[in-house]
């Protein structure tokens, strides 16, 4: 089971995120029981990642900020989400490789209640093949996250 923080250390882990984006589930995203469908959570997380990269301000030009593809997504459902409920998707970079990166994400409801946890491995891509992050992109991501990833 995916565990991104030590038991009892949830608040400190959540405090380590400095980026979040708000969203509200739409009626069409619900399952027959009135919960947000489990198939929708990855889309919410993707929205959070894309907003994170837009906010990080890619110094390179292209159709998407820090263009990438998802290589692996590990998702732990913790509690249900409901129609029109205010949610926040928090995202942070925890590793930066030559052409890959690892992110952690948390989907939160009222009172910072955790609804889902995720670890995502992404790979920089130009649409046809993978390519390394540029030096300028590495600098921008490290500055946005406020830490050095040279040893990750």
Question: In terms of residue numbers, what domain contains 72?
Answer: 10-145
Which string of b and e fits 70-101 if b means at least 16 CB within 10 Å?
eeebebeeeeebeeeeebbbbbbbbebeeebb
- For residue 144, pLDDT beyond 80: yes
| pLDDT tens per residue across span 63-107 | 889 999 999 999 999 999 999 999 999 999 999 999 999 999 999
Residue 58's Cβ-count burial label (10 Å; 0-12, 13-18, 19+) is middle
Asked if residue 1 is part of any domain, the answer here is no
Q: State the total domains in the chain.
A: 1
Asked if residue 40 is part of any domain, the answer here is yes
92: domain CATH number is: 3.10.129.10
Asked if residue 134 is part of any domain, the answer here is yes
Asked if residue 25 is part of any domain, the answer here is yes
Asked if residue 2 is part of any domain, the answer here is no
| pLDDT tens per residue across span 30-46 | 999 999 999 999 999 99
Global pTM value: 0.94
């Amino acid at each position: 089971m995916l565990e991104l923080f030590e038991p009892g250390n949830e608040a400190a882990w959540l405090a380590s995120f400095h980026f979040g984006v708000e969203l509200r589930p739409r009626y069409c995203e619900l399952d027959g029981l009135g919960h947000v469908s489990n198939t929708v959570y990855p889309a919410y997380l993707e929205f959070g990642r894309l907003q994170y990269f837009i906010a990080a301000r890619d110094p390179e030009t292209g159709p998407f900020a820090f263009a990438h593809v998802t290589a692996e997504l590990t998702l732990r459902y913790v509690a249900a989400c409901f129609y029109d409920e205010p949610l926040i998707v928090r995202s942070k970079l925890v590793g930066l490789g030559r052409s890959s990166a690892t992110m952690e994400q948390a989907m939160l409801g009222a009172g910072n209640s955790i609804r889902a946890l995720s670890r995502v491995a992404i790979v920089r891509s130009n649409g046809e093949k993978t390519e390394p992050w540029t030096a300028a992109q590495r600098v921008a991501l490290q500055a946005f996250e406020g830490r050095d990833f040279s040893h990750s």
